[in-house]
Structure 1
Amino acid sequence: MEPWRKGTVIRITQETPNTRRFWIQIPELDRFDFKPGQFVTLDLPIHEQKNKRWRSYSIASWPDGTNVFELVIVLLEGGLGTTYLFNHVTEGSELIVRGPQGVFTLPEPLEKDLFLVCTGTGIAPFRSMVNYLRLHDLPHRDIHLVFGTRTFEDLLYYEEMRALSAVMEGFYYYPTLSREQREGHHHGYVHQVYESICMERKDAFFFLCGWKQMIDEAKNRITALGIDRKSIHQELYG
């Protein structure tokens, strides 16, 4: 288990109307090393009991040899943790951080097609994975990122993902909107999108990241396609 360390918030930007990006530096380390897909835990001053102060977030950046990493966080109505982060944390604030943690990481080697299915801030670990693969020119089969949100303005890292799909061989991006129709985007839910791609692909890894309802439905649908349950990996939010 990694120790608790002090982190300094060095930058904050508003990504969507209810989502912010936080860049955190760990001054005591020369570099913050982690595997794409891992998360960190924050100890926030929101409760007397330790375990009720802890909030975990997937790292949205990729290992770059520095001691800085990025989180992307959505403001949850009534959520003590995100309310504190949005109302009290500014550039220069200190946070208590533990990590990296987690085993939601890419298989080695990547010998199968990869389906990355997410909603909301669930795109964070997949952004880390895809950028890492490209920057290190690692061999891979086809990668399909199916990202579902309600509206176009909720699409995190939209221009970045479009640019990646244009220059990264074998990377395909499927922005999917459930409450808005927009030319060039899928309409509906993520399930119909990956099902249409995967009908003839039984040899694939599925990585799922998002809320429990989406993940539960996805696991049922994916196994119904004939995919081995051992090829399904998940990171649950909430």
Structure 2
Amino acid sequence: MALQPWRKGIVTRIENETINTKRFWIQVPELSTFDFQPGQFVTLDLPIHEKPNKRWRSYSIASWPDGTNVFELLIVLLEGGAGTHYLFHEVHEGSELTLRGPQGIFVLPEVIEQDIYMICTGTGIAPFRSMIHDLKNHNTPHRDIYLVFGTRTQQDLLYLEEMRRMEQEVAHFNYIPTLSREKWEGSCGYVHAIYENLVEEKKNGSPDLPPALFYLCGWKEMIDEAKERLLKIGYDRKAIHQELYG
């Protein structure tokens, strides 16, 4: 895949999603359409350091291809993070950003022949939101899809009502938000127990593993543990795809 050139982006809209997470809509004026595959990311070149590689910050695209030149990013404010501090406190509607993309191979197969497990924490939900909407818009045939989204408390839930609506609108799509620090009517604990139990239910007493692909997006600790658990269950490394944050 050829590396995309740096382009100018204009922030057209900013909304708070939670107390520490914002949604940024960015328009690329020189393009009539910003084409990308759901799951890909863009890199921003932020004026926060003299060295280029210390200015670059990459974020998964949270929106889906819609024929326009606007896309959405979902960004959490990181304590001590120079990039997110700049985006949260210096950028406003009308601000210009330098960006490059789309990039990345964290995408679904063209033909989906296995169950899909989308396992994420925090803003790692962004690429999966893009994928689910795109599947719906193209009426793409697929098997069971499980979005297991882990976060701490209800106030940290991202796109909650939207994902619940998508669960009703997209066949075989199962949305499982899971809280690790708060009791509520939904799932509690950590994401690992959720997908392990789902796989066990799918086996239904059979010794054979159900065919599946696992997409992991979030912090390194979650991804490392998920890979270790999935390999221990017996899944091949080729069935595990990851997009690492931080």
Calculate the TM-score normalised by the size of structure 1.
Answer: 0.99
| Corresponding residue SS for 1:122 | helix
Aligned length: 237
What is the identity, as a one-letter code, of the residue corresponding to 1:212? Answer: K
Structure 1, unaligned runs of 5 or more: none
Structure 2, unaligned runs of 5 or more: 204-208
Bigger shift: 55-64 or 222-231?
A: 222-231
For residue 226 of structure 1, report the CA deviation from its aligned partner. Answer: 1.6
Deviations 1:10-69 (A, max 9, x none): 000000000000000000000000000000000000000011000000000000000000
Q: What CA distance in whole angstroms lies between the structure 2 residues aligned with 1:188 and 1:152?
A: 13
Mapped pair 1:222 → 2:224: no
Correspondence list, 1:127-138, <5 A: 127-138=129-140
What is the identity, as a one-letter code, of the residue corresponding to 1:31? Answer: T
Identity %: 68
Partner of 2:198: 197
Partner of 1:175: 177
Q: What CA distance in whole angstroms lies between the structure 1 residues aligned with 2:138 and 2:110?
A: 14
Correspondence list, 1:17-32, <5 A: 17-32=19-34
Deviations 1:118-154 (A, max 9, x none): 0000000000001000111000000000000000111
For residue 202 of structure 1, report the CA deviation from its aligned partner. Answer: 2.8
Bigger shift: 164-173 or 18-27?
A: 164-173
Partner of 2:110: 108
Correspondence list, 1:1-238, <5 A: 1-183=3-185, 185-199=186-200, 200=203, 201-238=209-246
For residue 167 of structure 1, report the CA deviation from its aligned partner. Answer: 1.8
Bigger shift: 41-50 or 201-210?
A: 201-210
Calculate the TM-score normalised by the size of structure 2.
Answer: 0.95
- Kept in 2, the 8 Å contact 1:202–1:227? The answer is no
- Kept in 2, the 8 Å contact 1:202–1:225? The answer is no
Q: What CA distance in whole angstroms lies between the structure 2 residues aligned with 1:103 and 1:42?
A: 18
| Corresponding residue SS for 1:23 | strand
The Cα RMSD (Å) is 0.6
For residue 223 of structure 1, report the CA deviation from its aligned partner. Answer: 1.4
Q: What CA distance in whole angstroms lies between the structure 2 residues aligned with 1:21 and 1:11?
A: 8
Q: What CA distance in whole angstroms lies between the structure 2 residues aligned with 1:153 and 1:140?
A: 32
What is the identity, as a one-letter code, of the residue corresponding to 1:147? Answer: F
| Corresponding residue SS for 1:34 | coil
